[in-house]
Amino acid sequence: MTIVIFLGALIAAIAIGIPIAYALLLSGIALMVHLNNFDAQILAQNMLEGANSFPLLAVPFFMLAGEIMNVGGLSKRIVNLALSSVGHVRGGLGFVTILAAVLMASLSGSAVADTAALAALLLPMMVAAGHDKNRSGGLIASAGIIAPIIPPSIPFVIFGVSTNLSIGKLFMAGIVPGVLMGVSIAAVWYWIARGEGAKTPPKASRAEQLQKLKESAWALFLPVIVLVGLKMGVFTPTEAAVVAAVYALFVATVIYRELKIHQLFEVFASAAKTTSVIMFLVAAASVSAWLITIANLPAQLIELLQPFMDRPTLLLCLIMVLILLVGMAMDLTPTILILAPVLLPVAVAAGIDPIYFGVLFVMNGAIGLTTPPVGTVLNVVAGVGKMKIDQVARGVWPFMLAQIAVLFLLVMFPQLVLAPLRWFYS
């Protein structure tokens, strides 16, 4: 009954158009009333404590780093490097998109920021070269969602905070799945591009390639700093976010000199606005998370799923299907905040590694960013490319199916995630 009240109140609130943060608060209040435990002071205290978290400081700083990179020329140089490296092959601009997405993912960790930059820089070039606009927009959307998987990842920060898991381990465990997502859409694009007959840019000379590599070296050095720093224990993931933001600011203003002083306010304000939305969601979800613990909902869910507890692979498949369905109607952050505290104890009880589960959860939710009707990343591509969202949705589906196939490949073969993680922490 407790599960029904919580989910019923949440779904009903969302169905009538209440923003998700407020819907979370309402479902929390409904659960408090059901448990005869309503207290406005406890409600406010849990919201404050939910946002008062040192690891969550990584969110605004990674957001700021992403904004600085887009405005300060780091993203543009990454795209130029990819263009000089693989732009000349058949369908080269598509491979440029994928390679640039993987490289940019290691810089910002924000799907929205990366997708906006890729769409602005590459979509006009792909259309001018003769590629189908819908398919090109779909490829950019699918490439953009690699950002939440490859470190540094803002969703991994939120998942780690909401479930008390190691953010550093989540970061490292996401590297191989993120690369596999890129490889999967590259394979699909190769098959599609064969029949398009689009023009390819001329092959860059070795001197031009070296020049582009030299120009992008300062940007490429950022993920090296973050990963080596985490590996050597020099700083925590939160401190890594500060290092990323400061380093990006230094490179954009002093080295590349594309970010001007008068632009700083706009950059900081944009990062602050995005952060405020995430932090309010986190604060609202903290009430529900506390009540989920008080009401012992994970234990009730484990009891309901008892027939599947001795078959972890089947259980994981069912959970992945559930998250895919939820992702069609909900953004990644609220999906994590609502479902992760409930589902992680179920997975652990079935003997599933929690870090491995966290990677699959975030990967699944990231795929949901490309599924209508919500499809945040679809909306970004549609807005930047002046397209209708249904056009982008038609173009994205073959790439989305490839990424779903990778997701279930990882379900069947957990060592693809766990083996690199153990090597990194050996």
Distance CA 404, CA 392 (A): 18
pLDDT tens track for 77-134? 888 888 888 777 777 888 889 988 888 888 777 888 888 888 888 888 888 888 889 9
From residue 261, alpha-carbon distances to 63, 72, 250 in Å are 19, 11, 12
Q: Is the pLDDT of residue 299 over 80?
A: no
Query: What is the pLDDT confidence band of residue 2, given thresholds at 50, 70 and 90?
Result: low
**What pTM, to 2 d.p., does this model score?**
0.85
Residue 124: half-sphere exposure toward Cβ, Cα within 13 Å: 6
Q: What are 348's two structure tokens? A: 């652990």
Q: What is the pLDDT of residue 197?
A: 67
Q: What is the pLDDT of residue 222?
A: 84
pLDDT tens track for 195-223? 776 677 778 788 888 898 888 889 888 88
Distance CA 248, CA 259 (A): 10
Distance CA 156, CA 144 (A): 16
Q: Is the pLDDT of residue 388 over 70?
A: yes
What secondary structure does DSSP assign to 122-134, as a single string? HHHHHHHTT--HH
DSSP assignment letter at 202: P
Q: Is the pLDDT of residue 3 over 70?
A: no
Q: Is the pLDDT of residue 399 over 90?
A: yes
Query: What is the pLDDT confidence band of residue 58, given thresholds at 50, 70 and 90?
Result: confident
Q: What is the mean pLDDT of residues 242-262?
A: 90
Q: Are 311 and 349 in contact (CB under 8 A)?
A: no
Q: Tell me the H-state helices in 106-205.
A: 111-128, 133-144, 154-163, 167-173, 175-193
Distance CA 219, CA 283 (A): 34
Q: What is the pLDDT of residue 373?
A: 67
Q: What is the pLDDT of residue 1?
A: 63
Q: What is the pLDDT of residue 354?
A: 95
Q: Where are the domains of the chain?
A: 39-424
pLDDT tens track for 310-348? 889 999 999 999 888 888 877 888 888 888 888 898 899
Q: Are 101 and 147 in contact (CB under 8 A)?
A: yes
Q: Is the pLDDT of residue 233 over 80?
A: no
From residue 26, alpha-carbon distances to 9, 69, 73, 284, 397 in Å are 7, 38, 43, 9, 35
Q: What is the mean pLDDT of residues 237-262?
A: 89
Only one residue has tokens 């994928």, namely 98
CB crowding 187-222: b at 16 or more within 10 Å, else e: ebbeebbeebebebeeebeeeeeeebeebbebbbeb
DSSP assignment letter at 253: I
- E strand or H helix at 234, and its extent? none
Instruction: Choose between 350 and 304: higher pLDDT.
Output: 350
Q: What is the pLDDT of residue 411?
A: 95
Q: What is the pLDDT of residue 426?
A: 66
Q: Is the pLDDT of residue 174 over 70?
A: yes
Looking at residue 371, its amino acid is T
